[in-house]
Amino acid sequence: MYIQTTSLPVAYLQLYYRQIILLLLAGTLFSCHHKDDYTPPKTYTVQLQTHEKLGNYLTDKDGRTLYYFASDSATVNTCAGGCALLWPVFNAQDISEANIGAGLSFSDFGQITTSTGARQTTYKGRPLYYYAPVSAGVNTPEPAGSTGGEAFGGVWFVAKPDYTIMLTRAQLVGKDNKNILLIPQEHQLPSTLKIPVNPYILPIPKVLPCIFLSPINKIKILILAPQT
């Protein structure tokens, strides 16, 4: 059997292969250019979110709200037992200058160890918590963007960077470990008020607020309105 073959000109073949090579190179360059231009979204360990009424407040990387507990003081976690189930600690082991959000300062953050040995992140000396209300019998962390723990029990508050006054439920104690009781001049103490053992009683002007221990309503520090 005889098969006739046709030879293509060398110049034609060179042009054909050159076009294929150019197409391949163009695809490669386009692909590389595309990759170099892509910047993955920044992930912050702690960041600020904005609430219509609360203003700026702290959240974790997933947008879940962080809280303060007014009974905590001196970077001490006082939420234990059932409280710890409702208010789990927040711990950001990898927090650094590079992964905190805009408007926050790395120097404001710290770490403490709770009475159970757990590590917990603090902000401006205050331990930080999540809120995990009971749902179907199980403590479930609230979803991102929720602030359901705000003012809970009058002692839990959303963690914010711009509080003017921070209230703490704790007994004032002097350097010699004596309890301190501040009483405005000529102020009549309630008959139900139990004076701490060996307290300091310091008269202060009537125009200032006063602070005293009140075991009746279980508020250890009570700030009264200025007297007129």
* Cβ proximity of 83 and 176 under 8 Å: no
- Give the Å distances, CA to CA, from 192 to 3, 170, 185, 215: 119, 19, 19, 9
Query: What's at 161, amino acid-wise?
Result: P
Q: Which residues does 97 contact at the CB level (< 8 Å), separation at least 6? A: 106
What pLDDT is stored for residue 7 in this prediction? Answer: 54
pTM: 0.63
* pLDDT in the model for residue 175: 72
Arithmetic mean of pLDDT, 115-123? 94
Question: Is residue 178 classed as helix, strand or coil in its secondary structure?
Answer: coil
Task: Check pLDDT > 90 for residue 168.
Answer: no
Residue 153 has pLDDT above 70, yes or no: yes
Query: Is pLDDT of 133 > 90?
Result: yes
